[in-house]
Amino acid sequence: MLEELARTGRDPATNGYLRDAWSPPELELREWFAGEAARRGLDLREDRNGNLWAWWGDPAREPGVVTGSHLDSVRQGGAYDGPLGVVSAFAALDVLKNRDFRPNRPLGVACFTDEEGARFGVPCVGSRLLTGMLTPERALTLKDDEGDTLADVLTKAGRDPRGLGRDDETLAQVATFVELHVEQGKGLVRLDRPVGVAQAIWPHGRWRFDFHGRADHAGTTRLPDRDDPMLPFARLVLAARDAASRRDIVATIGKVRVSPNNANAVPGLVSAWLDARGPDETDVRALVEELRPLAAGAVSEESWTPVVDFDHGLRERLAAVVGGDKPAPILPTGAGHDAGILAAAGVPSAMLFVRNPTGVSHSPEEHAEQADCQAGVVALASVLEELCR
Ligand code: GLV
Ligand code: MN
Ligand code: MN
Ligand code: MN
């Protein structure tokens, strides 16, 4: 299945993936999801927020155990972040069917929409809308780089944007959620284990810093006469690195918009997105406050995700099921996931990580060996079996 997906949305120049939410490649992946559901005789549903659910059994009668992930990618992303969890979910169901296992409760495969937030800037849009962590009012007005709003994009994709919003009915169908994910670090490599269980997700957020200046001619404007927003922006980049390193947390400026973006003009506006994360919310918040004055107060919080400490009982239980006589390692992560959003909303949730030999993610270098992917599927199948007994 991963090989089949590998063709969709790949940029041949870099081998990275471009799978923005609701873009043609992502729509193609959603079709693929529907096909895999149909092939297995699962009932397919798209909820009001564009998340996909494929059910074995009827969750309207009794809440079920759900596994899955997402199919969108960061720009120039890898092949595993997201798809590995969806593919492993279908493969784990196949393992259970081959074992003649009959689940005692409904079992579902989920694909959350716009997990990465590559297009509109806010991550986990599908699960945030579902749980009410993002309001439809705000979501609908989010704009992509072309200036199209999420409402425009949904309408173009044949969806009704008026349906967006907290969906208690769908949420009530999820008794437990388990997301399998490629590890985005080298924890499992260091421990020499193929599969691990998530302990916690660091609190994290995104902030947009707007630096206003005055666009002007690059040849005729004397330096003292310029109001160049690129200078305070450059100070921000260095200050963010310094502030993060003093607190032993991480801060990244990976997205910048320069306007009007002419080689021969002083810019009029520079917008920079700061992503900051760390084990302790206080440090992350303090970093943002330290940096805020650099943009003369023009700072907006684009998203915030509180710390997620996954259900202790569930993670221990999963570690025991996955590891056999030697419980699987339980690891923290700095990456955000839909499982974290569901956990924050009170749904008992857990994650499995599959070893990534490069440790690299959000990049074409991201990798998982075939044998480890198989170990992940077997682990996930055992977990589902345990939870559906
Ligand atoms: C998503 O993968 C994130 O952690 O930013
Ligand atoms: Mn990701
Ligand atoms: Mn992911
Ligand atoms: Mn993520």
Question: Which ligand 1 atom is nearest residue 336's CA?
Answer: 4
Residue 314 CA to residue 188 CA, distance in Å, equals 20
Q: Which atom of ligand 1 is nearest to the CA of 334?
A: 4
What's the full length of the chain, in residues?
389
At 144-172, the pLDDT tens digits run 999 999 999 999 999 999 999 999 999 99
Characterize the bridge pairing of strands 64-70 and 107-112: parallel
Interatomic CA distance for residues 319 and 133, integer angstroms:
29
Show the tokens assigned to 191. Answer: 């421990």
Contact indicator for 236, 291 with CB cutoff of 8 Å? yes
* Residue 39 sits in the same domain as residue 81: yes
Distance 4 CA to ligand 1 centre (A): 24
> Is residue 302 lining ligand 1, measured as CB closer than 6 Å?
no
Beta carbons within 8 Å of 98's beta carbon, 6+ residues apart: none
> Among 81, 113, 116, which residue has the most ligand 1 atoms within 8 Å of its CB, making it the best to mutate?
116
In tens, the pLDDT along 102-147 reads 999 999 999 999 999 999 999 999 999 999 999 999 999 999 999 9
Q: Are residues 149 and 141 in contact, defined by beta-carbon separation less than 8 angstroms? A: yes
Helix (H) or strand (E) holding 46: strand 43-46
CB-CB contact of 377 with 355 (8 Å) = no
Q: Which residues, by Cβ under 5 Å, contact ligand 2, an ion?
A: 81
Q: At which of 278, 303, 328 does a domain end?
A: 303
ipTM (interface predicted TM): 0.91
pLDDT attached to residue 297? 77
Ligand 4 (single-atom ion) residues, CB below 5 Å: 335-337
Quick one: CA dihedral 24, 30, 31, 33, positive or negative? Answer: positive
Strand 349-354 with 216-217, pairing? unpaired
The answer to whether residues 262 and 176 belong to one domain is no
Contacts 24+ apart (CB under 8 A), 253-261: 255/121, 257/145, 258/230, 259/215, 260/215
SS3 category, 270: strand
Instruction: Tell me: do 280 and 168 sit in the same domain.
Output: no
Contact 334, 250 (CB under 8 A): yes
Q: How far is the CA of 149 from the centre of ligand 1 (A)?
A: 22
Residues 6+ apart with CB under 8 A from 381: 92, 93, 95, 96, 99
CATH code where residue 290 lies: 3.30.70.360
Is the link from the previous residue into 12 a cis peptide, with omega within 30 of 0?
no
Domain boundary among the residues 303, 331, 357 is at 303
Give phi and psi for 283, each to the nearest 5: -65, -40
pLDDT in tens, 206-263: 999 999 999 999 999 999 999 999 999 999 999 999 999 999 999 999 999 999 999 9
Task: Identify whether residues 195 and 78 lie together within a single domain.
Answer: yes
Which atom of ligand 1 is nearest the CA belonging to 335?
A: 4
Closest ligand to C-alpha of residue 180 is 3
Residue 103 is predicted with a pLDDT of 94
Residues 172 and 315 in one domain: yes
Looking at the fold, whether 224 and 355 belong to one and the same domain comes out as no
Number of domains in the chain: 2
Determine the structural domain holding residue 228 and report its residue range.
204-303
